[in-house]
Amino acid sequence: MPTAPAPPTLEESAAYITQLGKPTAAEVLARARTSGRTALQPRCGVGGHREMAVLLKELETEGRPDLLTLTIDSHTRLRRFEHAARALRTDHRTLNGYPLVTHGWQRGRELNELVAVPLEIRHGSPDPRELFATAVACGITSFEGGGISYNLPYSKDVPLADSLAAWTEVDQLCGELAHLGVVMDRELFGTLTAVLIPPSISLAISVLEAVAAAAAGVRCISVSYPQSGHLAQDIAALRAVPVLAARYLPAGLDVHAVLHEFMGVFPRRRHHADDLIFYGAITARLGGASKLITKTYQEAHGIPDAAANAAGLRLAAVARSPLLDFITVDEGAVAEELEWILRETAEIVEPVLAAPRLDSAIVTAFAAGRLDIPFSASRHARSEVIPRRDRDGAVRYHSPGRLPLSRASTERNRRLLDGPARPGAGTTELPGSELFQALRRDIDYFPLLFGELPQDAAAPGGSAADSATSTPGKEPAL
């Protein structure tokens, strides 16, 4: 067999990116923020190379996205490259994403050169060093994840110290690329487990990862946030991103807010799903997001096909129309949410940032529960935080666990959860079985809102229970 060509050096990859003749992800995001026109990006990833090429081309032609995605398969995420190679030899359809390391950097360049928009790698790996090196060799200019957000929601027993160290190496290479004239967009996965995530937890984890990334040399950081479904709360969370960047990050960084359209249980009927997709796009617009990760009307039925993905992009694009400039939000409600989101985030992150070494402080804080993630798959997070929806559908702390929230913050959450306006919503004192059923209703919020489920029903078919008790972080990377 012929010997595979040696991978390019970092300098050669930087030169290739410069000569490629397409914008980088950082340039697309900067233009989106300047113009006020949110960039759109779908999720997509299949195992076969030819099939991946067809999918990317169809999405670019039919959906006109601003960025495209290579979602990576689970074997590659866990560095089981021999398993990915075996699947390619037998049946690539068994893979749940594109095994970039196994296909190799030359095939990756083929995909990159096939489309005019930049590509981003979405994956879920606690140790992405080989994947990142391959992505750079392909000329890909956006790479998602972090040592916390791509470990605790996905992996059962990867020590935080190990994932933080691996991601530091990735971020240091981003710094080297910046010195070579190529700015890599590093998107932080604030979505976490995607199930009832209080905004201050999402933003706190992203702040910690952003501080670490900036110290390692990263120059462009995208802070992603998962749509909760409450307009004022979601807009406030997006508007919090530049405030937090100014407060905790060094000057000169390019920082962007990114909204993931709702990643929980989706309505099954197309017109309801389309309503939710458009609602998410309006939220991104009003929140000033640089980018929106879109959804499709097939979310409740399995992996969306290319046609549904393109339809989701076209629908989201309608929300960018200048004809919709009349749409406004209750700015008073947003301001109140923003004030408390910033306060809670500060209460969570500032004790950690005050420590002499950030990486060891993060590990210690998670072990003690002073940092935590609801419904985590990992034994390295206590998962003692219990979120709930209040009477208006906003996500609050039913129990903050051991998070160092002030008395004022905890009392506000408790007050907003009292006096439910809908059955089982927002009550702070519930026995275990009732709390579980209430959480199921909160997770099934949109199917219930649209009348696809009776108001007194828990999620059928295990949809909510699966989201709440298995590995809720697995699907959101797609």
Residues annotated as catalytic (active site), given as ranges: 77, 144
String of DSSP letters for 191-249: TTT-SS--HHHHHHHHHHHHHHHHHHT--EEEEEEE--S-HHHHHHHHHHHHHHHHHHS
Separation of alpha carbons 403 and 324, rounded Å? 40
Place of tokens 């971020």: 171
Amino acid making up residue 63: G
Separation of alpha carbons 85 and 102, rounded Å? 6
CA 88-89-94 angle, to 5 degrees, is 45
Separation of alpha carbons 347 and 121, rounded Å? 32
| CB environment 166-197: b (16+ within 10 A), e (fewer) | bbbebbebbbbbbeeebbbbbbbbbbbbbbbb
Amino acid making up residue 162: D
Assigned token pair, 21: 């003749």
Place of tokens 């099954």: 268
**What are 293's strand-pairing partners?**
41, 260
Assigned token pair, 18: 């410069």
Separation of alpha carbons 406 and 399, rounded Å? 13
Separation of alpha carbons 29 and 38, rounded Å? 8
Separation of alpha carbons 385 and 373, rounded Å? 7
Assigned token pair, 180: 């070579």
| Cβ atoms of residues 39 and 158 within 8 Å | no
Amino acid making up residue 441: R
